[in-house]
Chain A
């Protein structure tokens, strides 16, 4: 900023813009221009267009009368509040496991990252077939051991949603565990040694050393994961397709459902309805990251 002030001081008033900028600043603008163009054409314009489509109050009335929308909103909340918290708690626990210094744990951590490294489509479809009531591996195992037919996993909305959450956890647990591991490794080892000398228990070490230093990271991760999970289309769409009877939709798949039914206004209105949930999270994250 200091450069720009001094530059405009030196320039003659009324001189053309190019004369008032130093060469590095001209280059700065030229180099920033591609992203600004991308932003204007593919972020600002679509967002404004979307908001314009969502302007009619009648869309919101229609949404309020659509039971699938209410169901999708509840499913989204379950996904975020229960699913993400379970995932982050497991990640916190596993990060403690993976920082143990053993050769086999090193190897396991390399394998553990696989769900994150491979694309989600084939693995989700693989899980989908495993849960197939007749031919899937899960029910065949149940039959082998108990002689009973297993449940029709994806045909019960509650179970199907739980399975979709499971798929989401399977896919993204490695990433968050990895981040929490870096958080744990940043804690000074001396603290734990001192605690050991004082005879602190496992739980006391966690409560008074690990948690205080990881608290901020953990909460940031949870919020970030919540924002991203709002956009998790694949886990639900490819596992259940929103079914049975459109009862397992979440907001991200619902928007696409309306789009396919050619109800663009409803699609945008349903997304606008999610904004009270998204914007506070985004505001909080922006404050945190732009420091």
Chain B
């Protein structure tokens, strides 16, 4: 055991001086949400850092749908789940097919499609929301969960195609050539060579699309309006409609809603960090 030198101590102190505020800044809104979720109503409004009587009663109310704002909790949770899963699956299908076609089959016009997709990626989603809303009305899809699924797939696929194309460009051409020599058809190459090799990127993109759809508020709030059709984030926003909103229940529901994406994110962090940040900004 050796005593640290003065210089080391001062470096460590300076790092802590940055680290502690960063920790507080990051945790305060999340802790506040958690605090509300475990507080009875009177404790939540008293500004304490820890409730006098921590309780899981709020969770019980939410899970039993025992409040006016929560009467459709399960069906809204289910809506969120179905929509997120459908967006993930459809985005993966569309984007993988497109990336394979552009990158491996070098289909004529592939470059143009890639550029159009990239252009779509850069249209701010909130700007596309207004015409998208009108378009869905024209197609007769408003208040139908397909409108949200298709809209979110439209938003998720450009980036998905771009990342998958970057990843498939890195696979050696010889693989395809060898497979052709062995008499493989294009579909067999796609299924037996391409998909297995692309697995890490596909996991990253699938996760990206699922989280994007699960977290989306604006499109869900525009495209769906019946209480039994909406997703959880819209239901959370609707809590604000009342003057005396039950904030402790809002925070409890929000906490439950935030858990799955956080869990998915941390479970797939390895893929997400490698697959997405490298693709997000090519220096």
**A interface, CB within 8 angstroms of B:** 1, 3-4, 23-25, 27-29, 31-32, 34-36, 38-39, 41-43, 45-47, 49-50, 53, 94, 97, 100, 102, 104-105, 108, 110-123, 125-127, 129-130, 135-137, 140-141, 144, 170, 174, 178-179, 182-183, 186, 216-217, 220-221, 224, 227-228, 230-234, 237-238, 241, 251-253, 255-256, 259, 264, 267-268, 271, 274, 278, 281-282, 285-286, 288-291
Q: Which residues of B contact A39 (CB under 8 A)?
A: 113, 116-117, 120, 154
Q: Shortest CB–CB separation between residue B193 and chain A, in angstroms? A: 13
Contact at B36–A183, with CB atoms within 8 Å? no
In the bound assembly, the distance between CA atoms of A125 and B232 in angstroms comes to 14
B242 at the interface (CB under 8 A from A): no
The reply to whether A182 and B277 form a contact with Cβ atoms under 8 Å apart is: yes
Indicate whether A282 sits within 8 Å of B130 (C-beta atoms), given known contacts A31-B97, A32-B97: no
Are A122 and B105 within 8 A (Cβ)? Answer: no
Bound CA span A100–B12, Å: 10
B146 to chain A, nearest CB (A): 11
Which of these, A100, A102, A111, contacts B26 with CB under 8 Å? A111
Contact A238 B237 (CB under 8 A): yes
Alpha-carbon distance A170/B240, docked complex (angstroms): 22
- B126 contacts which of A104, A121, A255 (Cβ < 8 Å)? A255
**CB < 8 Å neighbour of A289 from B15, B162, B262, B269:** B162
- Measured CB to CB, the closest approach of chain B to A255, in angstroms, equals 5
Q: How far is the CB of B154 from chain A (nearest CB, A)?
A: 4
- Identify B218's interface contact among A127, A186, A233, A251, CB under 8 A: A233
A261 to chain B, nearest CB (A): 12
Q: Is the CB of B127 within 8 A of A252?
A: yes
Are A45 and B135 also in contact (CB < 8 A) when A24-B186, A290-B115 are? Answer: yes
- Interface contact B106-A256, CB-CB below 8 Å: no
Knowing A126-B254, A141-B47, A252-B126 are in contact, say whether A42-B150 is a contact too (CB < 8 A). yes
CB distance from A281 to the nearest CB of B (A): 8
Closest residue of B by beta carbon distance from A264: B134
Known: A32-B98, A42-B150, A117-B265. A129 touches B32 (CB 8 A): yes
